[in-house]
Structure 1
Amino acid sequence: MPLLTATGIKKLFGGVVALSNGNLTCEKGRITGLLGTNGSGKSTISKIITGVYGKDGGTIVYEGREIAYKNPNEAKMDGISMVFQNLSLIPDLTVWQNIVLGIEQKKGLFLNDKQAIELARGIIDDLKPGMDVTRRVGELNPGEQQIAEIAKAISVRPKLLIFDEPTAALEQEEVKSLFRYMRKLADEGVAMIFTSHRLGEVMEICDDIVVFRNGENVGSMDFKKDGRDPDAIVKMITGETEGIQVTKEYRDIPDETVFEIEGLNYGKFLRNVGFKLRRGEVLGIGGLAGQGQTELMLALAGNYRQVHARAKVGGNEVTLNKPSNAVRNGVLLVPGDRQKEGSFQRNSIYYNMIYPKLGLKKQPLLTPNKKYRAEAEEICKALSVRAKDIDVDMYTLSGGNQQKVVVGKWLPFDINVLLLADPAKGVDVRAKKDLYDFIMNLVREKNMSVILYASDSDELISYCDRLLIMYEGEVVSELTGDEITEDNIVAKSMRVG
């Protein structure tokens, strides 16, 4: 008998159907991949199972009884735990305090801190040996925070463990450690659901998959019986018979410098970075994770007052020590964390579209809402944003649609340089291609220049004209044209050859 069976699950957010007929089965000791495009319903059904959302129809049977949890803690106490993509950690608490929060053991009248630290350290040592469990979560890098989130979910010894994009912020070795631990849990009889847009990871760790599209499951594949066919999986996800292919374009780029940086330094993160960006060029930033790429993108957007650099936009010197300076000069950032850095989640699409304009010096005394609304609706249509209207809150949108809005808010501006900081992180294969197709059209039609940092080297290979490799805060190598290959990127990132 399956550990959990969800049948005919329905969920609506306002007038948007998130789930129309969701079905899912989990068995002890098996890892089931839950796949689909953004907005297909996969995260929604996971959150219904764990009590984040209530369902509008259908049944969930767990251990032979029907369940409908009121909140995630109730689910956790019953043996169902979830690793959330949007972390559920408290930044001001330590790693071990976050891990045991809600399951603390007492020693007399006081909490048993020693036992809690030992529990946390035992789990963390399996996932990331040497990570300090006494550090505050707010001091950790994104990968370490994700490890802490995973450890928190594991700490209750769940019977069913749900992973929602757990590897997006992890480095390769951390992913390997996580997969080893998942196999260990599977051997102990734990059932798992694994959601990821990284198909290679799904093929490696999962025993079977279920595919959701437009709010219902449209297919499944048992790898032991059916084999592992990535093309068939992509076709199942997208509903397209030809799958999704990206053809690399080689373009003639004029020798006109639009953006120039010399001697950029920022603390221990960036050291003497310099480059020239030509008009209409897509310049990639690559290298192993954590080598200063994110800090470089934020520095170029004026996020750090302590940055020292000589910068020119269109031949004019600028000081990139404030975001407003960058925006006024058409250097515009699409950040990697759309929830925390790129949008106001509890505000509407329309508000998110217009708020950059509200800080302009030449802003009209009375906001021309009619004009701005028409403009926002036109942009949403061009980007194929799936939403009831522009007045719905951002948090109700799928990740891919949120990212389209984050990009779209800059389109009314005069863009000299569009900074893309891992723009497709956590975005499905269809939405990723749509997003890049739109950006590349802007590059071609408006001769727009782009600086792209992507943690997925496939994106750099597919779209960049030139690629800078960073190592310990410095640019250590440059690849151009057909030199931009997976082998070259790995070799230069590891300082080989």
Structure 2
Amino acid sequence: MAILEAKNIVKRFGGVTALSNGNITCREGKITGLLGTNGSGKSTISKIITGVYLPDGGTITYQGKEVAFRDPIEAKRAGIVMAFQNLSLIPDLTVWQNVVLSFEQRKGVFLDNQAAREKTRELIDQFVPGFDIERKVIQLNSSEKQIVEIIKAISEEPRLLILDEPTAALEQAQVKALFWYMKKLASEGVAIIFTSHRMGEIMEICDDIVVFNNGKNTGSIDFEKDGKNQDEIIGLITGDIEGTSEKHKNEDISEETKFEVKDLQYQEILKHINLSVKKGEVLGVGGLQGQGQVELMLALAGNYKKIKGQAILDGKEISLKSPKTTIREGIVFVPGDRQTEGLMMQDSVYQNMIMPKLAMKKQPLFTPVKKYQKEAEEVVKILSIKTDTIDQKVNNLSGGNQQKVVVGKWIPFDINVLLLSDPAKGVDIGAKQDLYDFVLKLAKEKGISVILYASDNEELVDYCNRVMVMYEGSIIKELSGDDITNANITKASLNLPEGERKEMEA
């Protein structure tokens, strides 16, 4: 029996359509796999179901009644709960305080803290026996935090439980415990939506799947009726889009190696990374989100002091242990999160453009304002930044123009390596094309080497000469030439055993 049906769901964020036709049906006592590549709409429809977002179109029917939850609290009271991949925990509260937050039990006029502790301990012992629930969340590692997030959701005794990439940070034993508990909940009639990029987990735990691609459904499979066909699932995930993308990449690449790193390591996040990029080449970094791509870009930008390994630029060994050092070497970084990492939102276009220069040690005694203003105006012209004046605050610009400012502030520098971390995320099609056209022009005319991480595989297909695919902090596959396709990147991202991968490609 269907407990929830979402039909024809539409969601727009500004000029970007995240969902154009989202559909999913969940049945009591069944575990439904929600699959799709990065940006396909999976998280968006989950957040609409749980009241984080309001839909712009479509209907949701829950327990036979049409609903439109205004916030997650309202959804929780109706029995719909989500454990988020981007954790919803409060760092300064203890484990048990996070678990019962907003749903505290009372004993008369007082909170029943003892009952809350006992409930938390009973649930968490299923995953990590003997776990100290008095510890603050800020003291936990990533897998422990994820367990607390899951326990928090389970503790609310949902009728529909949504698990968004719950196993990404868990150890094998913890995954096994989670699957046991999911089956237990399903046997009690709870409907579960399970999002995962790990094909083995989908095949093991799910009763059926729904696949999203580019904001709409590409299909669904009921395993009980139709069986489990991995080839069919991969086809639905990648979509029928092979060969439809127009490629805009530089073909004439120098054979000269511009930049390379050897045996790069950082904690348990980056594992023995080896890469090289040629002069004028665009090297792509792909894979499912959260596999170490962002950390790799930050490491190359000098963000980690305790990094291990060797870096060589133009044949000379350099240090990657501070941003100032890498900037002086001409290695500059463009983050994807422009609002929190790339810009000072309350400052002007001009102030944002000159900030990297002012932060460097070697500065003239008096700031050459007229010179810097002229440079900023030239950058605005080169990148076609739509602004009335360089004194306009960047928070008044569109997302695409904001991102152009993030890139533009580095143009006056002598760039050797340009690091782009998902630079077109949330940017409209026109601004995205302008951005990449400029990047390719820099690479071709000035011989700048580009390392591009993009969560959208099509950006890697369109613009990269080679693509490295990452999985759990390691590079597991390199693609080049005609092998750079959406399907091949997706298959490598899932890290299937080689035999299964060859079978699918046959």
- What is the DSSP-based 3-state SS (H/G/I as helix, E as strand, rest coil) of the residue aligned with 2:60? strand
CA–CA separation in structure 2 for the residues paired with 1:7 and 1:130: 44
Q: Does the alignment pair 1:359 with 2:356?
A: yes
Q: Which residue of 1 aligns with 2:31?
A: 31
Q: Does the alignment pair 1:454 with 2:451?
A: no
Q: 1:294 to 1:389 in 2, by over 3 A?
A: closer
Equivalent of 2:425 in 397, 402, 405 = 402
Q: Which residue of 2 aligns with 1:491?
A: none
CA–CA separation in structure 2 for the residues paired with 1:277 and 1:27: 46
What is the CA deviation profile of residues 264-323 of structure 1, one whole-angstrom value per residue up to 9, with x for unaligned ones? 999xx59xx999866649999xxxx99x99988756543345779986643546454422
Q: Which residue of 1 aligns with 2:465?
A: 441
Note the aligned Cα RMSD (angstroms): 4.9
CA–CA separation in structure 2 for the residues paired with 1:166 and 1:355: 38
Which structure 2 segments of 5+ residues have no match?
245-253, 364-370, 386-397, 405-421, 481-494, 499-506
Q: Which residue of 2 aligns with 1:368?
A: 376
Does the Cα contact within 8 Å between 2:36 and 2:211 map onto a contact in 1? yes
CA–CA separation in structure 2 for the residues paired with 1:68 and 1:119: 31
Q: 1:86 to 1:308 in 2, by over 3 A?
A: closer
- Code of the aligned partner of 1:402: K
Deviation at 1:89, TM superposition (A): 1.3
Q: 1:295 to 1:58 in 2, by over 3 A?
A: closer
CA–CA separation in structure 2 for the residues paired with 1:306 and 1:41: 37
The alignment-based identity, stated in percent, is: 47
Q: Which residue of 2 aligns with 1:247?
A: none
Q: 1:25 to 1:369 in 2, by over 3 A?
A: farther
What is the CA deviation profile of residues 207-244 of structure 1, one whole-angstrom value per residue up to 9, with x for unaligned ones? 00122334333321111111111221222233328799
- What is the DSSP-based 3-state SS (H/G/I as helix, E as strand, rest coil) of the residue aligned with 1:70? coil
Does the Cα contact within 8 Å between 2:203 and 2:228 map onto a contact in 1? yes
Deviation at 1:30, TM superposition (A): 0.2
Q: Which residue of 1 aligns with 2:173?
A: 173
Q: Summarize the alignment of residues 97-246 of structure 1 with structure 2, pairs less than 5 Å apart.
A: 97-240=97-240
Does the Cα contact within 8 Å between 1:265 and 1:309 map onto a contact in 2? yes
Does the Cα contact within 8 Å between 2:3 and 2:26 map onto a contact in 1? yes
Q: 1:331 to 1:463 in 2, by over 3 A?
A: farther
- What is the DSSP-based 3-state SS (H/G/I as helix, E as strand, rest coil) of the residue aligned with 1:365? helix
Deviation at 1:141, TM superposition (A): 2.5
CA–CA separation in structure 2 for the residues paired with 1:155 and 1:373: 56
Q: 1:221 to 1:16 in 2, by over 3 A?
A: same
- Code of the aligned partner of 1:368: A
Does the Cα contact within 8 Å between 1:257 and 1:277 map onto a contact in 2? no
Equivalent of 2:400 in 385, 390, 396 = 390
Deviation at 1:52, TM superposition (A): 0.9
Q: 1:376 to 1:122 in 2, by over 3 A?
A: farther
CA–CA separation in structure 2 for the residues paired with 1:257 and 1:175: 42
What is the CA deviation profile of residues 328-374 of structure 1, one whole-angstrom value per residue up to 9, with x for unaligned ones? 32445688xx66998569979x99xx968841469933563674575
Deviation at 1:36, TM superposition (A): 2.7
CA–CA separation in structure 1 for the residues paired with 2:14 and 2:339: 25
- Code of the aligned partner of 2:84: F
After superposing the two structures, state which structure 1 stretch, 169-178 or 150-159, moved more: 169-178
Deviation at 1:325, TM superposition (A): 1.5
Q: Summarize the alignment of residues 13-28 of structure 1 with structure 2, pairs less than 5 Å apart.
A: 13-28=13-28
- Code of the aligned partner of 1:359: P
Deviation at 1:14, TM superposition (A): 2.6
Does the Cα contact within 8 Å between 2:338 and 2:403 map onto a contact in 1? no
CA–CA separation in structure 2 for the residues paired with 1:374 and 1:178: 53
* TM-score calculated relative to the size of structure 2: 0.65
After superposing the two structures, state which structure 1 stretch, 368-377 or 54-63, moved more: 368-377
Q: Which residue of 2 aligns with 1:467?
A: none
CA–CA separation in structure 2 for the residues paired with 1:81 and 1:105: 18
Q: 1:117 to 1:318 in 2, by over 3 A?
A: same
Q: Which residue of 1 aligns with 2:12?
A: 12
Q: Which residue of 2 aligns with 1:75?
A: 75
After superposing the two structures, state which structure 1 stretch, 233-242 or 144-153, moved more: 233-242
- What is the DSSP-based 3-state SS (H/G/I as helix, E as strand, rest coil) of the residue aligned with 2:9? strand
- Code of the aligned partner of 2:372: P
Q: 1:89 to 1:207 in 2, by over 3 A?
A: same
Does the Cα contact within 8 Å between 2:94 and 2:136 map onto a contact in 1? yes
* TM-score calculated relative to the size of structure 1: 0.66
CA–CA separation in structure 2 for the residues paired with 1:62 and 1:308: 52
Deviation at 1:60, TM superposition (A): 1.7
- Code of the aligned partner of 2:70: K
CA–CA separation in structure 1 for the residues paired with 2:4 and 2:273: 55
Q: Summarize the alignment of residues 467-482 of structure 1 with structure 2, pairs less than 5 Å apart.
A: none
Q: 1:117 to 1:202 in 2, by over 3 A?
A: same
Q: 1:57 to 1:439 in 2, by over 3 A?
A: closer
Deviation at 1:161, TM superposition (A): 0.4
